[in-house]
Structure 1
Amino acid sequence: MVNTKLEKQLKNCQSLLPEQLSDIVRSKLNETYQIIRETDNSNSHVQKKKHVSKNFNKWWISTAAAGILGVTVLASGFVSPAMADALKQIPVLGQIYSLWGENNEDSGVQQAKDFITNVNQSVTHGDVTMNIPTLLFDGTRILMNITTPGNRLDSEPNSLPSDANRGAVDTLEVLYKGQPLSWNSEFMDGKTASSLIVQVTNTTGINQNVQFPDQFDLNVIVTLKGYDIPFQFVLPVNKTTPVTVLTSEEIKHHDNINLQISKLEITPITTQLSVEYKTKPGQRMEKMLASIPSEYKGANGGIIALQYDIVDEHGVQLKPIGSHPISESYNIRFEPFKTLPRTVTIKPYLVVSEGQAPAGVIGRWENKNMIKKYIPELETVLSVQ
């Protein structure tokens, strides 16, 4: 019988679960304990030659068990305050909970529990083991967490390698078929900063959109300060969510702007809007832009600066996720609908007065004092049901 701190912690979590759990959830919990026992028994028959190997085996058992239990418990929909405290105490699982649980303000992620994929990949160089335990892919964006137990990934910007910041993230690349994809990240575990959330979009570094298939491999390459060898992962990515795709051939015209809302993708995690500005037959993009009144253009005067609201038939408006791009053709991501609407109205607008976000706010933020000038001539209504 295994008698470890990890198993005691897992049993503590199990004791906090309600009796009415489904057979599937119960079987997953049993699977967790079986992995611990089988791995522990197999290790007891093999002489551990190196201290590093012994530590890695223990860490792998913890990660595998935590990954299965974490996805199972979160998917069960039952996370009481007592359960949350218990989850936070388990290595790796506490970081998984930080990603998919209470610390994430992304409403799409809060609805993601049934769609999390357990990948449990790890790479070790020297005294650092980096792990990607879970990810989520809904066809429009990928969310993953990168953890290094006992190692701090954060450091001062542009700081040189030193004893103080050794092990902090230096570079991070996410590649699809060799193309670098746009991504953003944040640390989820405060001062320890050993867990990183990475959001990857289907936009390349040169602002081109990629159409992801339902299944593909993603390359993640991370270098740490003070370490010469990069941590390289090849992650199997699978779309696990349903998607409703709305398309339109309609082009709206106003003030020499030719606007097409080419696609709207609705998933339980994300609502993604695809916008295109069209030229007339034989017209060059530069000439089309030159013909548009200056009030529609960005600070440099060369790009259309329209932004967009998405509203359902009840007047419910979605909040954007991340920054609002400005280009001739681009994708804009919004939070998901709580229920699938009957109709969706895409409302272009110009920002007359925006204001500034409060200090320390990064990413999703909406200024209630923002003054918008809507352009009703360019509105598009899409029927969903």
Structure 2
Amino acid sequence: MNEKKMDEMLSRLGREKTEVPDFFSKGLADALNNLPELPAAIPPRKSPRWPYVAGAVAVTTLCVIGSGFVSPAMAQVLREVPLIGSVFEKTGDPVLKDMSERGLTSQPQKIATDKGVEMTITDVFYDGSRLAIGYKLKPQNNQPLKVSSDLMPLQWKIGVKETDQIQWIGDAKEVARDNGEYVGKIDLNFEIEEKSLENFTLQLDVEAIHGVAGNWKFILPISMEKTAKASTTFRPMVTKKWNGMTYTVERVTFSPATTQVIVKRTVSKEKMNDFYYIGYDEHMKRMSGGPSSGSAPKDEGNGMVTITDTLKFAAMQDIPKQITIEALIPHQLGSGSKADEKSRQSTFITVPLTEKK
């Protein structure tokens, strides 16, 4: 709820003449008159005032709600007070919950309504590679939302005002609340050209909610301002040639939510889709990770192309002195046994982390 709307509601509340019933006034007066007196021998303690003020507000609120004479304006105000806490704290994602608690998310509170459904974008998290958008769905006129049989509750498309050089994969998950509303998140592995990496304007067009086609459009300013302060980026520029391919590790970023590695790969056109990576920490312990993706190929001539691969791994508690990237061909992975690991062909790229951005 914006400040203007709140001001209008409070102003309307102040103009209304709501009479307090006699039974309530008399009951309140009797309760005050029957309070026990403090013994004169006990000096009053010096305590902070705010807890008493908060307690008075809480008692007043209970009296107003429980008395049965709430004015229409006050009832509207109470209905429209937003939920306390972040949607990210309610969707079951521990990483996003932690990001919210650490103050690394923004709360745009953008609203669009169509087909009897109000959709609010409540939270956004972005660290340069992961873009998560929290939302709330509220049916109008107390009509329950249709339970969708689709794998994803939303269908959407996105664009960026500043550039068309973006790639993304993602999904949406949500949970139902007891009041008939839904809260959820759109979670994207997001890539954008570097000049627009830190700040851009996202156009989010939701085209269906729970299988019902409609039009819910949002313009969202996206920024790394909060997460950049908690992130560290290195530019190692380490190059390794193997099996007719050239790998260059250009950038490694440690954010509170992810570890991102950017690898530029020059290969023949026939091999450009044959790529797989495994990451290891400084103790050669395998790093857990999500999907890797490659950019559109850039033609280098002589049958060669250059592709920028984005590797996503889990966040690391401490920044290591180095990491190691194993590059291999997917069909050489085998069953994952120790015999397969010894026989498969791959190359290891040691990446010292000394040159910060």
TM-score by length of structure 1 reads 0.58
- Residue 147 of structure 1: CA displacement? 1.7
Q: Select 1:382's aligned residue among 348, 352, 357.
A: 352
Give 1:220's aligned amino acid. Answer: L
- 1:173 matched residue in structure 2: 157
Q: CA separation in 2, counterparts of 1:133 and 1:109?
A: 14
What is the rounded CA distance, in whole Å, between the counterparts of 2:113 and 2:212 in structure 1? Answer: 11
- CA gap 1:154/1:181 in 2 versus in 1, 3 angstroms: farther
- Which amino acid is the alignment partner of residue 61 of structure 1? E
When residues 146 and 183 of structure 1 are mapped into structure 2, their CA distance, relative to the original with a 3 A threshold, is: farther
**Partner of residue 156, structure 1:** 149
1:42 maps onto 2:30 in alignment? no
Q: 1:308 to 1:353 in 2, by over 3 A?
A: closer
User: Which residue is 1:70 aligned to?
Assistant: 85
1:1-385 → structure 2 map (5 Å cutoff)? 40-44=9-13, 61-63=80-82, 66=83, 69-71=84-86, 95-99=87-91, 103-104=92-93, 107=95, 110-111=98-99, 113-114=101-102, 115-150=104-139, 152=145, 155-157=148-150, 169=154, 171-177=155-161, 179=164, 181-189=167-175, 194-203=182-191, 209=193, 211-224=195-208, 229-239=214-224, 240-241=226-227, 242=229, 243-278=231-266, 285-286=268-269, 289=270, 302-321=271-290, 323-325=291-293, 328-351=307-330, 352=332, 372=341, 377-384=347-354
- Residue 319 of structure 1 aligns with an amino acid whose one-letter code is S
* Residue 307 (structure 1) shift: 2.1
Distance in 1 (CA, whole Å) between partners of 2:347 and 2:169 is 34
Match in the other structure for 1:4: none
Q: Deviations over 1:261-296 (max 9, x none)?
A: 1211111111111122125xxxxx43xx4xxxxxxx
How far has the Cα of 1:154 moved from its partner? Answer: 5.6
SS in 2 for 1:318: coil
Aligned counterparts of 1:249 and 1:232: Cα–Cα separation in 2: 40
Cα displacement (A) at 1:186: 2.8
Larger mean CA deviation between 252-261 and 209-218 belongs to 209-218
Query: Which whole-Å deviations, capped at 9, do the CAs of 1:135-174 have from their partners, x for residues lacking one?
Result: 1111222111122124547622499xxxxxxxx63x3012
CA contact (8 A) 2:135 2:185 kept: yes
TM-score scaled by length of structure 2? 0.62
- Distance in 2 (CA, whole Å) between partners of 1:343 and 1:265 is 12
SS in 2 for 1:188: strand
Structure 1 position 258, deviation (Å): 1.1
- Say which structure is richer in strand: 2
Distance in 1 between the 2:196 and 2:339 partners?
A: 35
Cα deviation, residue 316, structure 1: 4.2
RMSD over equivalenced CA pairs, Å: 4.2
Contact map agreement 1:119 1:135 (CA 8 A) in 2: yes
Structure 2: how far apart are the matches of 1:60 and 1:372? 60
Structure 2 gap segments, 5+ residues each = 17-72, 296-306
Q: Cα distance 1:137–1:42, how it changes in 2: closer, same or farther (>3 A)?
A: farther
> CA deviation digits over 1:33-81, x for unaligned, max 9?
x99986752352589xxxxxx9x96598333xx3xx415xxxxxxxxxx
What's the secondary structure of 2:11's corresponding residue? helix
Structure 1 gaps, min length 5 = 1-31, 48-53, 72-94, 160-167, 280-284, 290-301, 356-366
Give % identity: 14
